Amino acid sequence: MSKDEMSHADRIKAAIDLKEPDRVPVFDSMNWSVNLAGNNINCIGKKEKDVSFPKWIHNADIFADSQIKAFEMFDHDFVHSRMSSHILAEPMGCKEVEPYWGVPATTEPAIRKVEDWKNLKFPNMHTDGKIPIQLTALRLLDKELHERRGEDVFITGFVRGPFTLAGIVLGVDRLMLAMIDKPDETKELIDFCADVTIECIKAQIDAGADHIYTPDPTASGDLISAKFFKEFAYPAAKKQSEAICSYKDKYAHHYHICGNTQDRWDMLEKIGASYVSLDYVIDIKKAKETIGQRQAIAGNLNPSDSLLFGTPDDVEKQGKEIIEAAAPGGGFIFWTGCDWAINCPLENVKRFFSLPKKYGTYPIN
């Protein structure tokens, strides 16, 4: 473990408070940590694995152990707990498949008409789907890292943003049309999804989560205009964020939208998140000069070209540029621009996590 001046939590809180910590905080490896389950680290690049992805997410002890190994190996400031991108969509009625090596995906929506949202099931957070497994993993991580070791690393819970969850249970194409054809019913669906996420968030915080990650990719500028974002996605995202921060504290929320978000940065500031992460398509220097003066931001290394297909030197070159552009003055957390591919080479991953210590020690010139 590193001998940095600040603890993990103090480092994160300083960045969220738009201050300069000892070094730039760094988010975690998320689903990539499946490569540290069992003997998977010796199976990277091979078709057969020691622990399959479904086995990983259905066994809280195996899952928690791999996340702890990732923390020990990389010394990141957050530890993740996501079992599935559809942790709520499945128990709400969506059909899901679990590939041998890959994240679960929904194959059928729960409803086909927006007005049928009233028929959606409100999940029981302690019995339905993979939610209980996630809660068990959170308790294991909390016990091992916080109680036994006294680490103040941020254990991170996960749910989707309400607008994106609505798109999963209805189908994204139907959601796009419903905003035009049946706006009132669409807002009711999105608000219902917000309420579902909030109950799941509370259960995760009760289980030991310090912090909740809520990706909202369907709210991207690549899918909806700023006008539609303001009318449909923004109110529910703000409701969700306010619930997170009031139930835990002002440091507890990470909000993310994929794609181009520049035309809605002013609204991202007002959602109330502790920090917002930006996709790799965003000019991080411009983001720092605008939204980053008032709102902590995170990002935004290319998880595909650099981390998955590039070399360690490619990762270092891009990461160094990002840190130099966004870290001065504080208010910055280093991460990728979106989720990681689980096949990223180990050497690229190691290089990624080395960069905040190499280039992100304050003061940054």
Residue 157 lies in a domain: yes
Rounded Cα distance, 21 and 362, in Å: 7
Buried b / exposed e over 204-232, threshold 16 CB at 10 Å, is bbebbbbbbbbbbbbbbbebbebebbeeb
Q: What is the CATH number of the domain that holds 89?
A: 3.20.20.210
Residue 348 lies in a domain: no
Does residue 22 fall inside a structural domain?
no
C-alpha dihedral, 194 to 199 to 201 to 206, nearest 10°: 170
| Domain membership flag for residue 256 | yes
Distance CA 153, CA 17 (A): 17
If one counts the domains in the chain, the total is 1
Residues 6+ apart with CB under 8 A from 139: 207, 208
Per the rule left: phi > 0, alpha: psi between -120 and 50, beta: everything else, 328 is beta
Q: Are 243 and 271 spatial neighbours (Cβ–Cβ below 8 Å)?
A: no
For residue 365, the model assigns a pLDDT of 72
Domain hosting 216: range is: 29-75+78-273
Domain membership flag for residue 172: yes
Instruction: Find residue 278's DSSP bridge partners.
Output: 257
Give residue 32's pLDDT: 96
Query: Mean pLDDT by 10-residue block, N- to C-terminus, for the chain (365 residues)?
Result: 77 98 95 97 95 98 98 96 92 96 95 97 97 98 97 97 98 98 98 98 98 97 97 98 98 96 96 97 96 96 95 98 97 94 96 97 89
Domain-located, residue 344: no
Residue 333, domain member (yes or no): no
Q: Kindly state the tokens that stand for 237.
A: 């995202």
Report pLDDT for 1: 38
Chain centroid offset of residue 30 CA = 8
Q: In angstroms, rounded to a whole number, what is the distance separating the alpha carbons of residues 322 and 356?
A: 10
CA-CA distance, 314 to 352, in Å (whole number)? Answer: 10
pTM for the whole thing?
0.96
Q: Point out which residues pair with 254 in neighbouring strands.
A: 213, 275
Judge whether 112 lies within some domain. yes
**Tell me, what's the pLDDT at 261?**
95
